A and B are shown apart, each in its own frame.
Chain A
Amino acid sequence: MGDNNKAIVVNELDFSFREEITSQPGGENIKRCFNCGTCVAGCPITEIDEEFNCRRIVRQILLGMREEVLSSPAIWLCLECYRCYARCPQKVNFTDIMRILRYLAIKGNYVPARTSAQIEDLDRFIQEIRCSFIKHTFKPEEKIAKEIKSKIDQKLNTIKSYHRGESIPLSNGRGINENRKI
């Protein structure tokens, strides 16, 4: 996200960035944003981590801050729940804009190509854990608790091994390359 108080120098900005987003399906309405903050107020991610702020990302796009946006881990935090879009009074489709940003980040080599699949995989994993937790809340069982713990440990190991440069076995059994084709 960078330092919030840093001055933005207009001449260093990339004005083609917002046009690029606007020209993509889903990005059409971004210029309509009037900064009301409805997206932030309802965002389930911002509630957990204020570093993720969709209004700020939209403003950065409109100002032409290509580097800052595409290199930021923030664009990978979005849950794609579409709540921001559903409540936006100007119909800015932030969720689809996020997809465009992720695609551009990969295309522009800001992140490794596999990032997309990794995040997808993580989301699936978290849903799994979430379901287990909810069941455990209704009916606490030692068996479920153990399962949760072992799944988390497994996941942490997988991520560690990925950083050692080993290939990542995805939970649905397909390899990364295969997954990307889909």
Chain B
Amino acid sequence: MHKRVLVVGGGIAGIQASLDLAEMNIEVYLIEKGPSIGGRMTQLDKTFPTNDCAMCILSPKLVEAGAHPYIKIITNAELENIAGQAPYFEATIIKKPRYINEEKCTGCGICMTKCPVKIPDEYNKGLSKTKCIHIPFPQAVPAIPIIDKENCLYFKKGKCRNCEKFCEMKAIDFNQKEEIIKIDVGSVILALGSEEFDATLKDEYGYKTFPNVMTSIEFERILSASGPTQGHILRPSDGKEPKSIAFIQCVGSRDMQLGNEYCSAVCCMQATKDVILVQEHLSGAETSIFYMDIRAYGKDFDKFVDRAKNDYQARFIHARISSIEVNPDTEDLIIQYATDEGKIKREEFELVVLSVGLVSSGRIKETAGKLNIELNECGFSKASSFTPVSTSRAGIFVAGTFSGPKDIPETVMEASGSVSGASSLLMRFPVKEIKEELPQEINIEGQPPRIGVFVCRCGINIAATVDVPEVVKYASTLGGVVHSQEFMFACSQDSQKSINEKIKEKNLNRVVVAACTPRTHEPLFQKTLQASGLNPYLFEFANIREQCSWVHQKEKDLATQKACDLIRMAVSKVRLFNPLSKSTLAINKKALVIGGGVAGMVASLDLANQGFGVYLVEKEADLGGNFRHIHYTWNGEETQNFLTTLIQEVKSNKMINLYTKSEIKEITGYVGNFKTLLADESGRKKEIEHGVVIVATGAEEYEPTEYLYGQDDRVVTQRQLEEWLGVSEERLAVDAEHHAPATDPLASNTGHRQLDIHSQLQGKNSQIMTSNPRVLNTVVMIQCVGSRDEERPYCSRVCCSQAIKNALKLREFNPKLNIYILYRDIRTYGIKELYY
């Protein structure tokens, strides 16, 4: 067998994992239960906190996964079983019939225009109709339709067969049967995802009873240019623009009545994003978010919330509502809530959006059961704090919301993390050699420029501001341009096909795409050129989105003029281009990891396990960083043994060169070939060479100047409290052992370390720290000290959990202790909520 991994689930987690693996020349089988890869991200309009277009980030990845020689996508398929043990698994997959021959279908779409049956469009959450034979969404990969058997006239009544009659490729196959596929793989990544909470279970909110109550995912479709209202916010009862919209948070989350005690971790920011987008779509509409705690715990999230409040006039109301009532005359919705002062308020809204949480569905649990994967009390894959991308079964990894609610950036990080685990199991297998077959490059020497200009509407991202047909017309008048046209989405797979056809049909020898940013999309179009026989460097990008339509939303005419200018410049530039060829440069396959905390050590070990040499540099004498001060986790896991083992593994790994008490003096060079100058404490210098750098330098605990800190012994930081509790716990354990003969050698080690920590604490709060926590009667914890203020306008995201963890530990010492936590929002996001 050669290096091969099975990835289950074609959402952003599975796609990112597949692409990472494929880049390492590892063969990937990516299986997806639906007819296209893409997952929930395809249905989102924008992503928080940057308001990037979700589809624009995803679409190039869809195309890349669809075209990558190392990725084999099997859609409409479910995982039945995984037999064997790592790295010798045998996966059984059931591929359900699509009733289309995927080899023959070109995705032309004629079948869809001829199909007489309309069915609710799942992609738009049933808010619009699609055909019984349909492609789930325009950018679908593969761009091949599927027949909905339940509704098909032929399957129901034995007649019609319109699609079959009109398909020129003879791709319709009503006799297709379920197929069982068996694949040998070395490791598995499960990216099964999650589902939205079914809002009908929260009946007091009237979802499905009152027409103007919708879910947050339905609202995403309403906001989206590719949605049922083409991005116009219209309410379902009368198709009018709502003047006031309420968002109800924690629908199906943090709710014991429904058995979902955890926080869904994304809804606060989703609603914040939505209130901002509402202003962009419907200027002047009033928006209100009813919340319990705003969980803006991620990077720049608090700034995003402040923007929504200050620049977009959104009201954030700290209240959970009891029910939603309706005004039967207007179909407006009545919400009664209690203010923090205890006043009852009653308001009417024209539209209500329920922020539905993420849940593990029966189907997901069933798959986990078949695979023997342990789930936690919330129905998500059980993971330890120290191995978050592992499952209970060795060799099977996890990424994304299958292991708990999380947002897209964290999902993508986990995907890459799981790839690191999955690939390190494949060291013994050879790489499968695949030669990409590209057509012979057309020699354009001596040819006059024949330029094709392709202008993207990007849904409404560009087209709502820039007059795209006008720009296309203008482009056709430019010197050397022999073809110009527009696309709804230039990045979709069918658009690539269309560009390819035009290159051949019109003998194009230069291409300009006027769309978004070359940062994400240039490689995609260059590949299309290559596949059409053109040198990939005969291409130029004109960014008429970020540099035009997005920044000139209010000056439409000028924006159109600017788009024309940008295209004219691109055309003038591309006219002068000559073919370029790549040459290979040797790269250094060693990595520099800066920082010997847990992040740096785990990164070093993962790299080493994949066969790469590592230079690990730590400025202190000991490894461990901040983690040395963590004595227990919120869910009661042992920390210091984990750290000791980790340090031992790092120190004994021959691939890792460790430099403690050392600092970086200078880094020169470039990607693939860096030179770094290290200096140790005595100033001795050493030069190392490496290809990449991982920065894991960590952060420090804020040292307060407020609340008598440093002036009164009794004021300590949470970390100092934790140190004290950790040490006290060990001391009490040692004391208990003194009554029995201490034969365990670990016991004396423990006592030794305790002394070390004591000496570290000397001089600072020494009096309180040497006493027994049992003497305490009352403890007050003050949150957000040094966070969420003007100087540091962000949430430090660990303090709420740390306070709760320490409060629970204090209670272990003294069950009668009184603890007060003074907070603004408790941010125990995800399943940490269980400990709140």
Residues of A within 8 A of B (CB): 4, 10, 15, 32, 34, 36-43, 46-47, 50, 53, 55-56, 83, 86-91
Contacts and interface: CB of A to CB of B under 8 A. Distances in A.
Contacts, number: 68
A41 B320 contact: yes
A40 B257 contact: no
Contact of B319 (A41, A43, A87, A90): A41
B778 A90 contact: no
A42 B336 contact: yes
Interface in B807-827: 816, 818, 820, 826
A91 B256 contact: yes
26 contacts: A4-B342, A10-B778, A10-B820, A15-B816, A32-B256, A34-B826, A39-B322, A40-B342, A41-B321, A41-B337, A41-B338, A42-B322, A46-B338, A47-B336, A47-B344, A53-B338, A56-B342, A86-B257, A87-B257, A87-B322, A87-B323, A89-B250, A89-B257, A89-B320, A91-B256, A91-B257
Given A15-B816, A47-B344, A90-B256, 7 more contacts: A10-B778, A41-B320, A41-B321, A41-B344, A47-B336, A56-B342, A87-B204
Contacts of A89: 250, 254-257, 320
A15 B148 CA distance: 63
Contacts of A15: 816, 818
Given A89-B256, A89-B257, A91-B257, A38 B344 contact: no
Interface string B484-514: 0000000000000000000000000000000
A15 B292 CA distance: 26
B319 A37 contact: yes
Contacts of B826: 34
A53 B257 contact: no
Interface in B183-225: 204
A40 B250 contact: no
B343 interface: yes
Q: Report, nearest first, the 6 A-B pairs whose CB atoms are least far apart.
A: A42-B322, A40-B338, A36-B320, A37-B338, A41-B322, A89-B255
Interface of B: 204, 250, 254-257, 292, 318-323, 336-338, 340-344, 778, 816, 818, 820, 826, 836
B151 to A, nearest CB: 39
Nearest to A38: B320
A47 B818 CA distance: 34
B344 A46 contact: yes
A55 B338 contact: yes
A7 B256 CA distance: 33
Nearest to A39: B322
Contacts of A50: 342-344
Nearest to A32: B256
A34 B338 contact: no
Which of A15, A32, A40 has most chain B Cβ within 10 Å? A40
Given A50-B343, A90-B256, A37 B320 contact: yes
A91 B341 CA distance: 23
Contacts of B321: 38, 41-42
B342 A41 contact: no
Given A36-B320, A37-B319, A55 B342 contact: yes
Given A55-B342, A88-B257, A41 B336 contact: yes
